Amino acid sequence: MNTIIVLATRNEGKIKEFQALLKDFPVELKNLNDFGPIPEVKEDGETFDDNAYKKALFTAKILGLPAIADDSGLVVKALDGAPGVHSARYAGENARDQDNIKKLLQEMVGKTDRAAAFECVLSIAVPSGPALTYEGRCEGEITNEIRGQDGFGYDPVFYSADLNKTFAEASMEEKNQVSHRGRALAEAASEFDKILTWLKQRMDEAKPPKPDHSEFEHNDWSEEKISN
Ligand code: ITT
């Protein structure tokens, strides 16, 4: 039977990428949209690592299932690492991708050093707490204008040094080969058998012990007195 793992996100771009990246593994990948309303996790960690663990653990605990979370973002050298952990909300709390891109391009006006990288930390957690962590990074540059239609987030302004085009000009297969998320998952995939064994052990350990009926086995019920 395939192991159920919940992908702790509602981000459709991430969901599609994870589904493609994990399609050959013996897992049944669910995501938060497959369940009823679940409270939002506050992503207030100072690092991708903190937030990934927070999201994975919260989801694993609330659903009682192993969960995988990705915290990722764009790190721009000329902006001292911004937007970093604030990538999703760079232009404000409910910012859309185009708002974040607009703000980024404004901040980059006049900057000659356009070096940037996407970073990703994956956390795979079980409800009792322990987690495994994998990291991935990909280098590139911020373009001067939007290029390409595909992908999500900052893809239209991230020129990938590996692909020689922006992530939004690349197919999902091309992007997944070199992306931060693709690399973090490739690292996890290289030891996926171990991960599945680890998950199974942790989930079995957390199961409540089977009820012990031995003390009743030799009981002579006929002698039991029921007093009112
Ligand atoms: P979840 O927390 O539900 O997973 P999110 O969109 O809030 O979804 P993050 O907190 O990890 O995800 O924020 C990551 C942001 O960084 C994301 O919203 C994008 O703006 C950007 N980002 C991350 N990976 C990206 C990618 O592959 N391409 C483009 N932008 C990306």
CATH of 3-205, one of 3.90.950.10, 3.40.190.10, 3.30.565.10, 3.40.50.2300: 3.90.950.10
**Domain spans in the chain, listed from the N-terminal domain onward:** 3-205
Cβ neighbors of 65 (< 8 A, separation 6 or more) are 4, 5, 6, 30, 127
- Phi then psi dihedrals of residue 115, to 5 deg: -60, 140
Looking at the CA of residue 69, tell me the nearest atom of ligand 1. Answer: 4
Q: Would the CB of 31 count as within 6 Å of ligand 1?
A: no
Q: Which of 71, 97, 150, 212 is catalytic?
A: 71
What pLDDT, on a 0 to 100 scale, did the predictor assign at position 211?
67
Residue 27 phi/psi, 5-degree rounding, is -130, 150
DSSP H or E segment with residue 106: helix 97-107
- Considering the entire predicted model, what is its pTM? 0.88
- Hey, what's the torsion of the CAs at 149, 152, 154, 158, to 10 degrees? -60
138: which strand partners?
Answer: 118
Token pair for residue 220?
């002579």
pLDDT digits (tens, 9 = 90+) for 24-72: 888 999 999 999 899 989 889 999 999 999 999 999 999 999 999 999 9
Mean residue pLDDT across the chain: 91
Cα 89 to ligand 1 centre (Å): 9
Residue-wise pLDDT for 169-227, tens only, equals 999 999 999 999 999 999 998 998 999 999 999 999 877 767 666 655 555 544 444 44
For residue 72, the ligand 1 atom closest to its alpha carbon is 11
